[in-house]
């Protein structure tokens, strides 16, 4: 800190008093000149406008088009967290968590076709083989977003083809896949999906050709797991279960977190009466993704096939703890309870399955029989009637007879 001392007085020259400064005099002389210039412009308005205005408009236009450059976007903390969650959840096999995190990430990167492709693929393969209409509808919506991200890239059209195929819309699926091929003939997933479409259409020769092309184009990228899975499906759908094992195993090695591949591999073991191997594949996969209801359902079925009733019931229950509206788990658990004579519990589960959209005639038969066994024929008859109509539509004469017998037991007069 220091003290400020006042400046000492210093004598200087005394200022001269003037009436006008030089600056004031110049300003007074300029006024008449400005007024005269204004009068000239007013007298020649048209000429001035035609000469000067185009230059002014050009300048204005150039200013309007000079947009400040956009800064390079950087991930916000939320997006960075979602990105990490998306990758980590995918790697550890928790596809449901991955879908949630990748969805948040995709909203921040609307033009990333590869990201939308991966997200749509996860939605498709977690749709319980297309049996989950809500999930499949979501997959179709994200397939559209993949196309919007880059309409000239093959990713969106190819993944849309897969989604449509799982939705059993084979004509539209084929159209999307062919458009993807036209955009980029070297994009291997397109050929993998074309192979699956033709398998579902029953044209195995054409399907085989497309799968061969997919293998030639991609040996370590996006298409490998899909190609070998579809090769396994090619064998399985023709009853060649032994031949299907190897391609399914290769598919699972390339995509160890794909539960649906493990489920189909286990189905081939079950078809070969190798139930222990089927159980081993499913149990191993469950360790990767313990919250997958489709995996729990098929593991319960494998235990049921192996005669382990209590284990089957345990896994059906675990399925419903994760997904209370899982129609298949409700249906099969209800059927198991029905076979044990537990009509009260069976009726509750079977009724819930039907309310959620089950079209299995056995559900209607078992629910009707359960109600009749509890003395509620008035509640049973509508289910017997609906089930009978289903059996007629499917031309299943054995089930038709069962429903007619139950209706007659409840006092309903029928004409066959």
Residues in the chain: 416
Higher-confidence residue of 254 and 413: namely 254
Span of 86-100, 107-121, 126-140, 224-238 with lowest mean pLDDT: 86-100
Q: State the Cα–Cα distance between residues 383 and 256, nearest whole angstrom.
A: 43
| pLDDT score of 101 | 84
Q: How many CB atoms lie within 10 A of CB 99?
A: 19
Tokens linked to 5? 């001392």
What's the pLDDT score for residue 271?
A: 96
165 within domain boundaries: no
Say whether pTM exceeds 0.85: no
Q: Based on the domain organization, do 357 and 416 belong to the same domain?
A: yes
| 114: exposed, middle or buried (Cβ count in 10 Å: 0-12, 13-18, 19+) | middle
For residues 360 and 310, membership in a common domain is answered with no
The pair of three-digit structure tokens given for residue 186, joined into one six-digit string: 């070297």
Any idea what the CATH number is for the domain that residue 385 is in?
1.25.40
Q: How far apart are CA 202 and CA 30, in angstroms?
A: 96
Residue at 208 is within a domain: no
- Candidates 375, 376, 319, 378; CA nearest to 349 is 319
Q: Taking 50 as the threshold, does the pLDDT of residue 49 lie above it?
A: no
Rounded to whole angstroms, the Cα distance separating 191 from 185 reads 9
Look at residue 37 and tell me if it is in a domain.
no
HSE value, Cβ hemisphere, 13 Å, CA-based, for 267:
19
**Measuring CA to CA, which residue among 75, 81, 117, 114 is closest to residue 97?**
81
pLDDT at 160: 97
Number of domains into which the chain is organized: 2
Per-residue tokens: 26: 């110049």
- Written as six digits, the tokens of 60 are 């204005």
Containing structural domain, residue 395: 341-416
336 in any annotated domain: no
CA gap 158, 73 in Å, rounded: 29
Considering the domain architecture, whether residues 293 and 346 belong to the same structural domain is answered as: no
User: Closest by alpha carbon to 304, among 295, 316, 292?
Assistant: 316
Let me know whether 346 and 415 are in one domain.
yes
Nearest to 382 by CA among 397, 398, 368: 368
Q: Which of 54-68, 208-222, 396-410 has the highest average model confidence (pLDDT)?
A: 396-410
Percent of the chain with pLDDT over 70: 78
Nearest by Cα to 112 from 120, 208, 375: 120
Residue 413: its pLDDT value, please?
81
Do 299 and 345 belong to one domain?
no
With H, G, I as helix, E, B as strand and everything else as coil, classify residue 128. Answer: coil
Q: What is the pLDDT of residues 357-396, one digit of tens each?
A: 999 999 999 999 999 999 999 999 999 999 999 999 999 9
Q: Do both 319 and 381 map to the same domain?
A: no
- Give a yes or no: residue 54 inside a domain: no
Tell me whether residue 8 is in a domain. Answer: no
Q: Tokens 């209409």 — which residue?
A: 133
273 CB-near residues (< 8 Å, 6+ apart): none
Predicted local distance difference test score (pLDDT) of residue 36? 56
Q: What is the mean pLDDT of residues 223-240?
A: 97
Within 13 Å, how many C-alpha atoms sit on residue 333's CB side?
29
CA 51, distance to chain mean position in Å, is 62
Q: For residue 111, is pLDDT > 80?
A: yes
The string of pLDDT tens digits covering residues 257-306 is 899 999 999 999 999 999 999 999 999 999 988 889 999 999 999 999 99
Whether residues 317 and 348 share a domain: the answer is: no
Average pLDDT (19-28) is 50
Q: What CATH number does the domain containing 264 carry?
A: 1.25.40.10
Hey, how many other C-beta atoms are within 10 angstroms of the C-beta on 223?
Answer: 25
Structure tokens at 238: 């023709």
What's residue 2's pLDDT?
34
- Cβ contacts of residue 260 below 8 Å, gap of 6+? 125, 126, 129, 294
Q: How far apart are CA 320 and CA 193, in angstroms?
A: 32
Q: What is the pLDDT of residue 83?
A: 66
Which one of 323, 352, 372 terminates a domain? 323
Q: Is the pLDDT of residue 43 over 70?
A: no
Q: Both 362 and 314 in a single domain? A: no
As a whole-number percent, the residues of the chain with pLDDT over 90 amount to 69
One domain, residues 353 and 298? no
pLDDT digits over 188-208, tens only? 999 999 999 999 999 999 999
Q: Which pLDDT does position 214 carry in this prediction?
A: 97
Mean pLDDT of 349-359: 96
Does 211 reside within a domain?
no
pLDDT of 54 higher than 80: no
Q: pLDDT averaged over the chain? A: 84
Average of per-residue pLDDT across 333-348 = 97
Helices (DSSP H) in 272-413: which residue ranges? 275-288, 293-305, 309-322, 327-339, 343-355, 361-373, 377-393, 397-409
- Is 300 inside any structural domain? yes
- Which of 48-57, 87-96, 279-288 is the least confident region? 48-57
């Amino acid at each position: 800190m220091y003290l400020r001392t006042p400046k000492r007085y210093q004598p200087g020259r005394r200022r001269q008093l003037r009436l006008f400064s030089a600056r004031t005099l110049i300003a007074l002389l300029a006024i008449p000149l400005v007024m005269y210039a204004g009068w000239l412009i007013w007298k020649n308005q048209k000429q001035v406008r035609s000469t000067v205005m185009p230059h002014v408009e050009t300048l204005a236009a150039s200013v309007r088009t000079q947009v400040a450059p956009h800064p390079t976007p950087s991930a916000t903390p939320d997006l960075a967290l979602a990105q990490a969650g998306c990758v980590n959840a995918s790697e550890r096999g928790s596809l449901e968590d991955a879908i949630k995190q990748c969805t948040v990430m995709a909203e921040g990167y609307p033009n990333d076709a590869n990201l939308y492709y991966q997200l749509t693929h996860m939605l498709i393969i977690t749709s319980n083989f297309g049996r989950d209409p809500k999930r499949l509808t979501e997959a179709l919506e994200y397939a559209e977003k993949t196309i919007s991200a880059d309409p000239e890239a093959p990713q969106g059209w190819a993944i849309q083809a897969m989604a449509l195929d799982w939705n059993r819309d084979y004509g539209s699926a084929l159209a999307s896949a062919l458009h993807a091929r036209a955009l980029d003939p070297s994009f291997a997933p397109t050929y993998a999906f074309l192979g699956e479409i033709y398998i579902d259409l029953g044209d195995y020769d054409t399907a085989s050709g497309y799968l061969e092309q997919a293998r030639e184009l991609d040996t370590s990228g996006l298409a490998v797991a899909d190609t070998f899975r579809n090769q396994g499906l090619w064998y399985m759908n023709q009853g060649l279960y032994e031949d299907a094992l190897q391609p399914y195993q290769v598919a699972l090695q390339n995509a160890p977190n794909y539960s649906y591949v493990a489920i189909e591999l286990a189905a081939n073991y079950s078809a070969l009466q190798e139930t222990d191997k089927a159980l081993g594949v499913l149990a191993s996969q469950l360790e990767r993704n313990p919250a997958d209801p489709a995996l729990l359902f098929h593991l319960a079925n494998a235990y049921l096939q192996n005669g382990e009733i209590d284990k089957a019931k345990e896994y059906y229950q675990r399925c419903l703890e994760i997904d209370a509206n899982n129609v298949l788990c409700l249906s099969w658990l209800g059927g198991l309870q029905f076979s044990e004579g537990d009509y009260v519990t069976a009726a509750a589960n079977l009724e819930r399955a039907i309310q959620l959209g089950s079209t299995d005639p056995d559900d209607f038969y078992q629910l009707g029989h359960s109600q009749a066994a509890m003395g509620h024929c008035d509640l049973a008859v509508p289910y017997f009637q609906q089930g009978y109509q289903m059996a007629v539509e499917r031309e299943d004469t054995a089930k038709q007879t069962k429903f007619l017998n139950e209706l007659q037991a409840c006092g309903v007069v029928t004409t066959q």
